[in-house]
Amino acid sequence: MTDSVRMTRLDNGIRVVTEAMPHLKTASLGIWAGAGARNEALREHGISHLLEHMAFKGTQRRSAAQIAEEIEQVGGDLNAMTGHESTAYYARVLAEDVPLGLDILSDILTHSVFDETELAREQNVIVQEIGAAYDTPDDIVHDLFQEAAFEGQTLGRPILGTPETVRSFSPADLHAYLDGHYRGPDMIVAGAGAVDHDRIVEQAAGLLGGISAEKGAEPEPGRFTGGERRDLRDLEQANIVLGFPAPAIGDPDFYVARAAAGVLGGGMSSRLFQEVREKRGLCYSIYAFSMAFQDTGLLAVSAATGAEDLRELVDVTLAELQRAGEGIGETETDRAKMQLKASILMSQESPSSRAGQLARQLLMLGRTVPSDEIVARIDAVTTDEIAAFLKNMLTHLPALSAVGPVGVLDPVEDIAKQLGGRQAA
C-alpha cells in the first residue's frame, strides 16, 4: 500500500480501506459485499439484485423517503450495483458529511425491514427492468453470451434473475440471504477523497460490529464451456458476441489478456476497428473486451451490423483473430499498453473509481495493489506473450451469442473449425 492508502481489519473481519486525497473537498465511500449473482442457489436466482434494491426501501430508523431526503439534504447521493461476484452500496458526499453517509449505508445493510408492500412494488419494478433488458438487443446479447460461456453454472445466469424467481422471494428469503452472505470477512468499507481513516474505522466498528465474523460459503468454481445462444428476431441490426476463455484476475497473464483485447479492439486504431469498420464499412461499432473473475475470465469481440453484412463481418473478424495469433507488431503492443495504463491511471483520479478499485482488489486479491506495481506489470507484457496468448485462446471452442436476423451465422462448431480450434465434446 502507498502512504495515502490505509487498511484496518475490524474484530469481525470487515476491512476498512481508505485513500486520502487532500486536494478534494468531497468523498466517496461505500460498503462492498463479496456476494453477487454467482453466490445464489438456483431457487435464489436474482435475489442479490433484489436485495440491493430493497436495501433503500426502509429501515427500522428511516423510511425510504427519509433515506433519500437525508442524503440529498446535504447535496449527496446514494447508489448501488450488483455484479456476479460482489454487491456495492455507495455514497458521494461533502467532506463534513462522511459520517452521515456511512451511517445511512450501515443502516440499510443492518436494519432494513423488507416491508411486504415495498417488496411487492420493487419486485414489479425489477420485472419491468428484466423486460426492458430483453427488449434491448445489445443488452440481452451479453447475457446470452455469459450463458453460452458458462453453461449450467451460476456465472452463466443473468444478474437480474427471471420474473418467476424475482416474484417468488419473501422478506424471510431476503433476511436469510443477507445473513448468510453478508459476513465480516467478505465485506469491505472503502472510502476515497476527503476522508479520515481513523474516524471511519471508529464509526464502522460501532455501526457494523454486529455482523457475523464467520466467512460465507464459497461459490461453485467457474468453468468456461463454450457453446452458443441465438435469439432470432426481425430487427434491422444483428448483435453478436464471440469470446474465449481468459485468465482470472490474479493470474500472471491477466494483463497480457487485457493488452490483447486492446490490440484486437481497444480503440479506433485497433485491428478490428480499422479492418472491419474503417476499411470495409461493415459496422458502426466493433470492440473487444476482457472480463476477469476470481477463478476464470473472458475475452470477447462485440459487434452489430445489418443482416446483409453479417457473414462478411464474422469472416473478417475471424481472419483478424487468426492473423493476431500468428504475430503482432511492437507498435500496436506499445499502443495497447499505453491505452491500458492511461485508462487505469485516469480512473484513479476519481474518488468514486478509486474507492471501488480498492474494495475490489481486497475482495478478489486479498490486498491493495499500488499503481506502480500495476504499471510495471503492464510494461512487462511483451509482443510475443500477447501473440502466444491469442494463438492458444483460439484453440478453445468459442462462446457465441447472437440476437436479430442471425440465421445466416454458421454454428459455433464450424467457427471453431475455421479458427483451427477444438470442437464441442
The set of catalytic residues is: 52
Instruction: Report whether 390 contacts 365 (CB < 8 A).
Output: no
Cα 12-357-344 angle, rounded to 5 deg:
165
Q: Which residue has the cell 453517509?
A: 101
Q: Which residue has the cell 467457427?
A: 415
| Biggest CA-to-CA distance, the chain | 63
User: Given its phi and psi angles, is residue 22 left (phi above 0), alpha (psi -120 to 50 degrees) or beta?
Assistant: alpha
3-state secondary structure at position 135: coil
399 class by beta-carbon count within 10 Å (0-12 exposed, 13-18 middle, 19+ buried): buried
Cα 254-256-262 angle, rounded to 5 deg:
110
Helix or strand (DSSP H, E) at 111: none
Alpha carbon distances (Å) from 369 to 67, 242, 360, 374, 379:
34, 31, 10, 7, 15
CA pair distance 354, 346, nearest whole angstrom:
10
Instruction: Report whether 158 contacts 143 (CB < 8 A).
Output: yes
Q: Which residues contact 81 (CB under 8 A, 6 or more apart)?
A: 52, 87, 88
257 class by beta-carbon count within 10 Å (0-12 exposed, 13-18 middle, 19+ buried): buried
Cell of 63: 423510511
Q: Which residues contact 23 (CB under 8 A, 6 or more apart)?
A: none
Taking the mean position of all CA atoms in its chain, how far away is CA 228? 21
Adjacency order of strands within the sheet including 87-94: 5-9, 15-20, 187-193, 26-33, 87-94, 77-82
- Backbone φ and ψ for 398, nearest 5 degrees, come out as -70, 165
Instruction: Report whether 54 contacts 112 (CB < 8 A).
Output: yes
CA pair distance 46, 177, nearest whole angstrom:
11
Helix or strand (DSSP H, E) at 221: none
Instruction: Report whether 40 contacts 47 (CB < 8 A).
Output: yes
